[in-house]
Structure 1
């Protein structure tokens, strides 16, 4: 089967996040048995076309014009030459129902909603937020894949009737048993340093935790346009590391007491399962995505969306070693449910099924 996936970014894009990791891992596995093409936006210093891990990648345009380029390149290179088109929506879809007549899949992690106000300039933010429900409904009759049961239900309420759920995987193999944790409490944030991820809330929560537990240390990992601001506001007991190498990230998550996961909305929350793989529970906001990846009261705690509530829950967890270890054991068990191989097989089963 020849598969064409349209996505605004590929895994090599400096702005790639959890959705792009999901896409890459899925395509990498599909490429073992299928011919796979990905069309995405270009970025400074990139190759216009390349092949890696079995994936043929074409890059054109920027984060806005990529949608027009996809339309052009589909007619120029792919119409009648691929068996299925996967239209992946990250903020904007590729509007394939308007020009792809053959088999297609709509792949969506979440709706943007609050992201428009936080990450897109006015007036485009208002226009996008107003129009989003209309262009998402364009796909109601298209076979759809999403990553959580809660968002599947939301899509069905919008009139979608053929929605499959493929849970995200994890690149980290869960530990067999609980690792020794750092003696002094270590509280970690891992994610893009941008408004939608609310790293400033994580920092505020760390400061409040430190008031109750002065021995606490904090680490903030991740790149983004808020890094300088976060760095300036971080006290001496909080390290702002930026992007770290995989091995260093593993060491930190392994020794961490807990992970803070604020934000306005998540598709799933890959960092949650990564932390769980080392027996590290999470305190997260009760938002879409995290309500699926964090099992409230079992692998962590979901709280109201403010730093005070996050700090209060974290302090209770840090002061109860027995409870924290119990949560950690649950985390290890929960994280064993997720692998990219299992995720890719679920995706493949849906695209190979009769339409």
Structure 2
């Protein structure tokens, strides 16, 4: 089967999130049996054509002068020609900014099936920021697609709330097997992992909560990940007088992630919005509790013992951190073992098998529909 995948991001991009990691992990397994091409935007340092473990990555669009969004806009503009130009049997489209859905259903080959992969579903934030109705793409644009891969039951409910007849398959992310080999005994300090984006990732809420912990009870807080707004981040650290308590490490690789998780006491994940929450799954696999807001999909992904806090209640988040700082190491180790057992459900091999099976099912459904309409 020839699979053409439209991905608005790439794991080589320093500003990328978890979506392109999923694309790579799934397809490096499926590439043993299928021909896979992934179309992504350009980014600083990208090459026009790249092969990773049997997957071909091709870049579309370009950056125009210093316009920060030009690579993404030109990528979107390039898609109609690219989809018509590259031979494929199955087309996969990752939902992308600014409206989640795109115009792909209008220009695709009608004799080949299309599946929407819901890695991004935050159009309302763009509506509020730019004062344009991008959220209509989520409210109405999803109805142009028949088949969906979603990461959580919560997202399946959201899609079906807008498109009742949608064929949705829940296929969660996996985690690196090496995380399950880390020591369960807790280290020292509090860890945040992921893109350091103040509003979306709730860094402002985290720092406000951390500042409420009495100094006598605190352990250092480490923020690891690409910083999106360095000046605004430093202003928050200064505002809460946390200069000697908070360390910002910047980007990390898989080996660094392993060391950071093994050396910390627990993980904080204060995101306002997510489509899955890879950090939660990774921390739980490493036997670390993760404090989250009690809202979907984070509360679906986190282990039962990971603390859930009423959404955006900063005082309650501070109390949850104080509790994990105060319990004994043997108690935290036992919680970690239970958490790791729960995280065994996040498996890349199982995800790849499930995704391949869904692809084949959709291909068969599509061929059946063509036969019944007399088009084959």
Asked whether the 8 Å contact 2:174–2:346 carries over to 1, the reply is yes
Asked whether the 8 Å contact 2:5–2:91 carries over to 1, the reply is yes
Quick one: distance in 1 between partners of 2:261 and 2:335? 15
SS at match of 1:64: helix
Q: Which residue of 2 aligns with 1:275?
A: 283
Give yes or no for the alignment of 1:209 onto 2:209: no
Quick one: distance in 1 between partners of 2:37 and 2:247? 40
Q: Which residue of 1 aligns with 2:72?
A: 63
Give yes or no for the alignment of 1:87 onto 2:93: yes
Quick one: distance in 1 between partners of 2:79 and 2:29? 23
SS at match of 1:127: coil
Structure 1 segment 170-319 matched on structure 2, within 5 A: 170-175=175-180, 178-182=183-187, 185-194=188-197, 195-211=199-215, 213-214=217-218, 216-232=219-235, 233=237, 234-296=242-304, 298-319=305-326
User: CA, structure 1 residues 270+156, in 2 after alignment: closer, same or farther (shift >3 Å)?
Assistant: same
Asked whether the 8 Å contact 2:148–2:167 carries over to 1, the reply is yes
Pairwise CA distance, 1:113 = 4.3
Quick one: distance in 2 between partners of 1:132 and 1:168? 22
Asked whether the 8 Å contact 1:31–1:54 carries over to 2, the reply is yes
Quick one: distance in 2 between partners of 1:30 and 1:190? 29
Pairwise CA distance, 1:54 = 0.9
Pairwise CA distance, 1:155 = 1.4
Pairwise CA distance, 1:117 = 5.6
Q: How many residues end up aligned between the 2 structures?
A: 342
Q: Which residue of 1 aligns with 2:346?
A: 338
Structure 1 segment 137-152 matched on structure 2, within 5 A: 137-139=143-145, 142-152=146-156
Structure 1 segment 114-193 matched on structure 2, within 5 A: 114-116=124-126, 121-123=129-131, 126-139=132-145, 142-158=146-162, 159-175=164-180, 178-182=183-187, 185-193=188-196
> TM-score normalized by structure 1?
0.89
Pairwise CA distance, 1:149 = 0.9
Pairwise CA distance, 1:164 = 0.5
Quick one: distance in 1 between partners of 2:181 and 2:200? 34
Give structure 2 stretches of 5+ with no counterpart.
62-70, 366-376
Pairwise CA distance, 1:344 = 0.9
CA RMSD of aligned residues (A): 2.1
SS at match of 1:349: helix
Give structure 1 stretches of 5+ with no counterpart.
none
User: CA, structure 1 residues 226+28, in 2 after alignment: closer, same or farther (shift >3 Å)?
Assistant: same
